Structure 1
Amino acid sequence: MGTAVQTEATQAALTAMKGFTSPLWPIRYKPLPDELLSSWLVRLAHGHGLKVQTFCNLIFGNRLQVWNRDVDRLAPQWLVDELSLRTGTPIATAYGTTLRVYEGLLYQRFSASGALSWIQTLKMYHRKREGFGLQYCCACLADGPQPYFRKAWRLAFNTICVKHQCMRHDRCPQCGASVAFHRMDMGRGGLFEFESLAACHVCQFNLCDALCEPVVSYDAQATAWLEQLCSPLMDTDESKVAAIGLDVLRVMHHLAGLLTSRYQTVTLREHLCAQLGIEDIPMTHGRVSIEARPLAERHHLVQLVAWLMVDLEPRLFRAWRSKAVRYNHLLKDFDEEPQFYAQIVAGFSDWRRG
């Protein structure tokens, strides 16, 4: 499409939207199953023949910025309410595209800043994403009439696709860029043609064509346990996600923190690798949460945690007896620890036992 034609098409789209008297937009796509708010918003912009930034400026004005924040996490009310109104989408369905729906299910309480347990960080810098906080399954992207991005792909422990029995990706396999589909029309002038959301915003590689890699498994039981944990995330019914159990996820998160502890007396990761007969992998240095780690590191950690959780009491007891972790570290910085975990750890408190 030439520049002049593109400009005419854009102007026509702008005129149509400005002159539309109904509260409903000409194009009013509904959210797809488990679709992220950002994915839905980009589809709406391109459906109207507009670039993402042009569309957002037209609808929300220059004062209300959308893309300089983690919009899926923060989900400002003015944004979600407007999309609900203009597309005729029930308000509960519209809010169901945001990561706020996981409050009380995967993390205890929502916070606009700081870490949220299991919600991957994007490391926003202006409109850029310097982190790899959005995963994808290339086979899922290729399924159906159009690619789109899911909420469950923002969860740090969800490193495998249960449906396609493959590993997820967290970047473009061709150029290594993070997934940022809202930037795919930036810097491309009037020659831009609206492409699939699966196109890399840097090199235009089709993420659907990424290699479908088999699941990396350290232990069959641990992998099955992890798959059982991830399976409810594929359902749009949040009540099934609740079946995972917040207490289980809290214990998992605490153990994942111990696996990357900087204390010299905590060698739990090395102990578990020895128990499984596997090699440890290099980890990002510094105080890095599991939500900020790349896919390979997260999958390594959740496999080790899953192996512990399959038979938690005897395996954690063995680690304690081997001095891979001390009693005080098992409870350190763990506020309101679940009762089942507290009871297990209480049995390790007397070092003279055994």
Structure 2
Amino acid sequence: MNIEQDELFSTWLVRAALAQGTDPLVLASHLWPGWRVCTIDLDRGVSEECATRLVQESGIQYDEFYSASFLPIAKAIGQEIRADRAIWYWFLALGSRNRKRHGGLQYCSHCLATDTRPYFRVQWRLAWHTCCAIHKICLRDRCWYCHMPIEPNRLSAQDLMSTCPSCKRDLRDAVMVPASASSLEFQEYADNVVITNSGFYGAHQLKTTEWFFLARYLLMLLRFTARNQTSNVRKCLASLLPSVSCLKPPITGLGFEMLPTSERANFLESVGVLIRTGPEHFRSAVLAHSLTGMSLRQGWQILPQYIHDIVQEIPQLARSRSTNIAVVSAPKSKQTVLYKWARLQRKIRRFP
């Protein structure tokens, strides 16, 4: 069973099992006895010992398995390769609990429908991917019918690769939703940054690692403004990007790599605009709104170089205020309660 172009390693393993008329878990147990494969993210790569066993059984060279993992892209964008980290920046998190998952995989129904043998792509697990560049439609991260996560690892021997294991509907039957031009533009540009090993912040050229670090910083800042609608940071960014006023905080408040596709797309479109604007306009807006270093840092010890240079020019702290204020034990805010409720629903798999 050959690995297709851009095929994801974990789902290739599922496809290989189905082709042999067996469950994915049975094949994994045969390859690696005693190893609970379902509890880890195989797309982060496997140990040399496990890889050797796989090469011997499949006849496929190690380089092909390496290319089907996150590792080439992770190294290109500067992600630290650590198996003990729950989240890798810019890669969708599975949120695994035994065999069940809370997310982490997207799909294009048109791609699956036109594949000779349906398979899942590596790019569908990249957090900056929210649409299909080929068919110009939005990616889905849930079954169109039952709204459960995409979990090929739970398929049975008699299932098709495009089957939802929860409701047995065909993912290829999903309605196609056109992608926005802004989402496509940012996604294609970010892909190009990985391919060419460089990107731009305005007119300034950056290395791939620097560009993705800047994008992650801007994401953080945008999420802060979405939560704090009266902050000076929000007013500052709104002067550069009027659509900031439309940004809503994620329903669950979870990390970016755990958000549903639609919420990620909204933030990434804004990141794209801010990156095109460049550091000169950002600096002017920061000075015009009298922001402090603390408001731009938001707890970050290390900043992107151009942001660091701006922070060095401005006061680091706001004017001190009297701390002689009575402490009142007030109820939690409505937003905090909604966050907790959304996370509980996600935990019991009733919510994206």
Q: What TM-score bracket applies, with the shorter chain setting the length?
A: 0.7 to 0.9
Report how far residue 241 of structure 1 moved: 6.4
What is the match of residue 307 of structure 1? Answer: 273
Judge conservation of contact 2:107–2:120 (CA < 8 Å) in 1.
yes
Quick one: which of 213, 216, 234 aligns to 1:250? Answer: 213
| Structure 2: distance between partners of 1:278 and 1:173 | 30
Judge conservation of contact 1:272–1:304 (CA < 8 Å) in 2.
no
**Residues 1:206 and 2:167 aligned together:** no
Quick one: which of 110, 113, 131 aligns to 1:139? Answer: 110
Q: Equivalent residues in 2 for 1:328-339 (5 A)?
A: 328-334=294-300, 336-339=302-305
Structure 1: which amino acid aligns with 2:273?
Answer: W
What is the match of residue 72 of structure 1? Answer: 43
| Structure 2: distance between partners of 1:42 and 1:86 | 15
Quick one: which of 289, 297, 301 aligns to 2:263? Answer: 297
| Structure 1: distance between partners of 2:310 and 2:56 | 50
TM-score normalized with structure 2 length: 0.76
**Residues 1:224 and 2:185 aligned together:** yes
What is the match of residue 332 of structure 2? Answer: none
Q: Identity of aligned pairs, percent?
A: 24
CA distance 1:58–1:90, change in 2 (3 Å): closer
**Residues 1:259 and 2:222 aligned together:** yes
TM-score normalized with structure 1 length: 0.76
Report how far residue 265 of structure 1 moved: 3.9
CA distance 1:226–1:37, change in 2 (3 Å): closer
| Structure 2: distance between partners of 1:277 and 1:293 | 18
Report how far residue 80 of structure 1 moved: 2.6
Report how far residue 79 of structure 1 moved: 3.1
Judge conservation of contact 1:35–1:150 (CA < 8 Å) in 2.
yes
**Residues 1:129 and 2:90 aligned together:** no
**Residues 1:84 and 2:55 aligned together:** yes
CA distance 1:30–1:270, change in 2 (3 Å): farther
Judge conservation of contact 2:236–2:286 (CA < 8 Å) in 1.
no
Report how far residue 319 of structure 1 moved: 4.6
Judge conservation of contact 2:214–2:304 (CA < 8 Å) in 1.
yes
Gaps of at least 5 residues in structure 2 are: 200-207, 318-352
Gaps of at least 5 residues in structure 1 are: 1-28, 186-191, 234-239
What is the match of residue 347 of structure 2? Answer: none
Structure 1: which amino acid aligns with 2:58?
Answer: T
Report how far residue 106 of structure 1 moved: 2.4
Quick one: which of 166, 178, 193 aligns to 2:158? Answer: 193
| Structure 2: distance between partners of 1:138 and 1:269 | 39
Judge conservation of contact 1:265–1:324 (CA < 8 Å) in 2.
no
Report how far residue 224 of structure 1 moved: 2.7
| Structure 1: distance between partners of 2:89 and 2:232 | 22
Secondary structure at 1:260 match in 2: helix
Secondary structure at 1:136 match in 2: coil
Report how far residue 75 of structure 1 moved: 2.6
Kindly report the root-mean-square deviation, in angstroms, between the aligned alpha carbons of the 2 structures: 2.9
**Residues 1:281 and 2:248 aligned together:** yes
Structure 2: which amino acid aligns with 1:224?
Answer: E
Q: Equivalent residues in 2 for 1:12-51 (5 A)?
A: 29-51=1-23
What is the match of residue 189 of structure 1? Answer: none
| Structure 1: distance between partners of 2:143 and 2:263 | 17
| Structure 1: distance between partners of 2:115 and 2:291 | 47
Structure 2: which amino acid aligns with 1:127?
Answer: R
> Bigger CA drift: 173-182 or 90-99?
90-99
Deviations 1:150-181 (A, max 9, x none): 11111111112222111111111111010101
